[in-house]
Amino acid sequence: MKNFKEFKSPVNFLLTDIDDTLTDEGLLHPMAYSALWDLHHAGVSVIPVTGRPAGWCEMIARMWPVVAVVGENGGFYFRYDHTNKKMLRHFLVSEQVQAQNRTKLNLIREEVLAKTPGAGVASDQFCRLMDLAIDFCEDVPALSGAQVDKIVEVFTDHGAQAKVSSIHVNGWYGTYNKVTTSLLLLEKEFGLSELKALEVCAFAGDSPNDEPMFHRFKHSFAVANIAEFLPKLKAQPTYIADDRGGMGFTQIARQIIASRS
């Protein structure tokens, strides 16, 4: 593992997590948001890759200085065409399958809440299309690691995928994930083969649900708050920033911009 200041490879795309990578305690501060604009002006295309819901991703794709967004841990990607004022939405499963999956996820929700006192359904669940998000520390008192593991177990016992972020356990039915949908987006929208994408793209994250991205992208970064999760990660980031959250992301952004000079 290396310090982010050792990174010297020019990249054209930065894929990034949002919660606790761009944000601090749930807030997007000016410096991190300015870093997104700095990357944009430097010619680095930013793509948030997040567990956050479709409703959020619609706004992010439309209003942030980004070229696209992957949401709900790979359930879809959105890309807004500012010239033609049109939102492109690509979903990994049909509406019919989404409805079938929702019925199964509702059963999981009831079991999780019954078996894990203190857990809650994420406040943004109402604008999710593909997954179920269980809150273990965003708007509820923080649960123990054992309780979080129990939530994951309920999902997997029902045959669903489950990933732990810094605030939620996200579960869904399907074979997609952050990596597969990110690579699909890069190929379909930007003409990048997987081999080329891994050369010209970097990723920044902070938590276990980013592990597939750390594993697949050789130019992988984490902010300092990854430290609490490192013992559990089989695939770890190549570079770690000195600071946590948005300030760490700002450091990473500055290093990526400098490496393009």
* Domain termination residue (choose one: 127, 147, 172): 172
pLDDT digits (tens, 9 = 90+) for 123-165: 999 999 999 999 999 999 999 999 999 999 999 999 999 999 9
* Domain termination residue (choose one: 142, 172, 202): 172
Determine the structural domain holding residue 247 and report its residue range: 2-92+176-259
Same domain, 158 and 236: no
User: Which residue, among 58, 50, 228, 61, has the nearest Cα to 133 in the 3D structure?
Assistant: 50
Radius of gyration of the chain (CA): 18
The pair of structure tokens assigned to 249 is 């992301």
> What helix, strand, coil percent values describe the chain, rounded to 5?
45, 20, 35
This prediction has a pTM of 0.96
Same domain, 83 and 147: no
Q: Would the pLDDT of 176 be above 90?
A: yes
The contacts of residue 135 (CB under 8 Å, 6+ apart) are 119, 120, 121, 122, 123, 167, 168
pLDDT band at 232, cuts 50/70/90?
A: confident
Q: Which of 2-16, 110-124, 220-234 has the highest mean pLDDT?
A: 110-124
Same domain, 63 and 112: no
Q: Would the pLDDT of 4 be above 90?
A: no
Q: How many domains does the chain have?
A: 2
Q: Residue 115: which CATH number?
A: 3.90.1070.10
The pair of structure tokens assigned to 221 is 């970064």
Average pLDDT of every residue of the chain: 96
Same domain, 85 and 111: no
* Domain termination residue (choose one: 172, 201, 222): 172
The contacts of residue 66 (CB under 8 Å, 6+ apart) are 36, 40, 45, 46, 47, 48, 60
What is the distance, to the nearest Å, from the Cα of residue 46 to the centroid of all Cα atoms in its chain? 13
Same domain, 44 and 121: no
The contacts of residue 232 (CB under 8 Å, 6+ apart) are 208
The pair of structure tokens assigned to 102 is 């929702």
Same domain, 43 and 88: yes
User: Which residue, among 204, 182, 178, has the nearest Cα to 192 in the 3D structure?
Assistant: 182
Q: Residue 223: which CATH number?
A: 3.40.50.1000
